[in-house]
Amino acid sequence: MHFKVSEIVNALHAPAVAKKFADREVTGVTFDSRQIDPGMLFVPLMGERDGHEFVPAAIAAGAAATFWQADHTENVPADFPVIQVADPLTAMWELAAHYLHKINPKVVAVTGSNGKTTTKDMIATILATQYNVAKTYANYNNEIGLPYTILNAPTNTEVLVLEMGMDRPGQIAHMTKLAQPDVAVITMIGEAHIEFFGTRDKIADAKMEIVQGLSADGTFIFNGDEPLLQERAKAVPQNKKTFGDTTANDIYPISVQADAQQTQFVTNKWADVTFTIPMMGEYNIFNALAAIQVARQFHVLPEKIAQALRKFVPTANRAQWIRGDDGEQILSDVYNSNPTAVKDVLRSFVQVPTDGQRIIVLGDMLELGDHSAALHAGLAAAIDPAEIQQVFLYGEDIKALAEALQPKYSAGTLHYYPVGEQDTLLHDLQAVIHNPDLVLIKGSHGMHLENVLAKL
């Protein structure tokens, strides 16, 4: 991002600032005063705290300018470029639209119930072999993160890869109409956020909003094995490409080899090219296939795709192996959780050989609503005492899984802890872990199992 204050004022049709500030340079944007670098525009958002309270701190840290909500008439900074707007978040969106038009990159938008962050990162890694690429930072995938990502993209960005999350209808529609993607990707449809939508059909409808902003000559890439997407894709007039496990897809794996550290596969498109991703789990192949389909739209050679995937670094706490203090191998997947994701990672986890025990630590899967007890209990079919010797469960809703597992497991191997007893869980867990053991830790971010991981 690179603006003069006067350009921001003009783009937003805001009241003029003092002439002496008109040519001041703005080189970035943030809504967090703790992240201010000199030259940034500060956006005071309304949350649990009024962001205007942090404007003095932003100025002290070197902010070049600030938005200011017009109905806030008190404590307006003096002798500083204050850009008056009706609403700072709306103004950030309007400025993002102006900047996106100005730098005019190709845009790839990614959503899905599982795998969207990994897929976004894979796409960016591959395209960076040939283009100047910017991408959604971490999981900044909502109405604040989207304009933030756009406005902090370098001026020479050729491809912008944007992740779009949601927890209500209309959210992705709003974001895609700002982004106007050239390529739209849906990784899969699962049960994530079913609390807010009620059925997988409604989740599919909400994910399909991503094509509402798709350019007329754009491409829609989706999992062709998902009937809910197959049916809805028929109404999309743009070019369509599919990935998946079956031969009905445009791209699919024809051979797979997997171990604890990496997954290798060959596709139907290039039988002489082996793709390697440094991640456990055959389910990650489909994230890679989605990324490969995007790369094909940008004419990246298969050899370059393979080279990029070999070097791919996944976002922290997504199927990441870490060695514990007692020498145990810990599979950290504590960023988020839903039934599909848990079953996928369990399927891969039990295939990893070990001379010790396999131990799982699972936390509540949040936002499952009225379906929660049944969906938690339904995980019992994927948990076998012959493969997983110790089970630790933490939360409220996951008590349903503990009850479903009682016929399979003895009291000494099945452990349940309600919210608030994480320290007890940790104590009991440390008592059973030994050097050769494998430990899986997975739960929704709100369960804070990263604290258990840190103490191991």
Backbone angles phi, psi at 195, to 5 degrees: -55, -40
117 known ligand binder? yes
Beta-carbon contacts of 454 under 8 Å, excluding residues fewer than 6 positions away, are none
Instruction: Let me know: does 139 contact 117? Beta carbons within 8 Å.
Output: yes
Cα dist from 268 to 127, 249, 287, 393, whole Å: 21, 10, 16, 41
Q: Is the dihedral of CA 110, 364, 144, 36 positive or negative?
A: negative
368/374 Cα distance (integer angstroms)? 10
User: What 8-state DSSP symbol labels residue 112?
Assistant: -
207/122 Cα distance (integer angstroms)? 20
116 known ligand binder? yes
> How far is the first Cα of the chain from the last one, in angstroms, to the nearest whole number?
41
412/390 Cα distance (integer angstroms)? 8
DSSP line for 245-307 = SSTTSSB-EEEEEE-SS-EEEEESS-TT-EEEESSS-TTHHHHHHHHHHHHHHTT--HHHHHH
Strands (E), 375-453: 390-394, 414-417, 438-442
Backbone angles phi, psi at 352, to 5 degrees: -80, 120
With both helix axes pointing from N to C terminus, report the angle between 5-12 and 88-103 in degrees, rounded to the nearest 10: 110
The pair of structure tokens assigned to 279 is 């991640």
446 known ligand binder? no
Cα dist from 293 to 32, 177, 251, 272, 308, whole Å: 36, 23, 8, 17, 14
118 known ligand binder? yes
DSSP line for 355-367 = SS-EEEEEE---S
Beta strands 320-323; 329-333: pairing state: antiparallel
274 known ligand binder? no
Closest CA to 148 of 109, 216, 99: 99
User: What 8-state DSSP symbol labels residue 371?
Assistant: G
Tell me the residue length of the chain: 456
Cα dist from 417 to 358, 362, 377, whole Å: 19, 11, 16
Q: What is the CA radius of gyration of the chain?
A: 24
Backbone angles phi, psi at 400, to 5 degrees: -65, -35
Sequence ranges of the binding site? 112-118
Sequence ranges of the binding site for ATP? 112-118
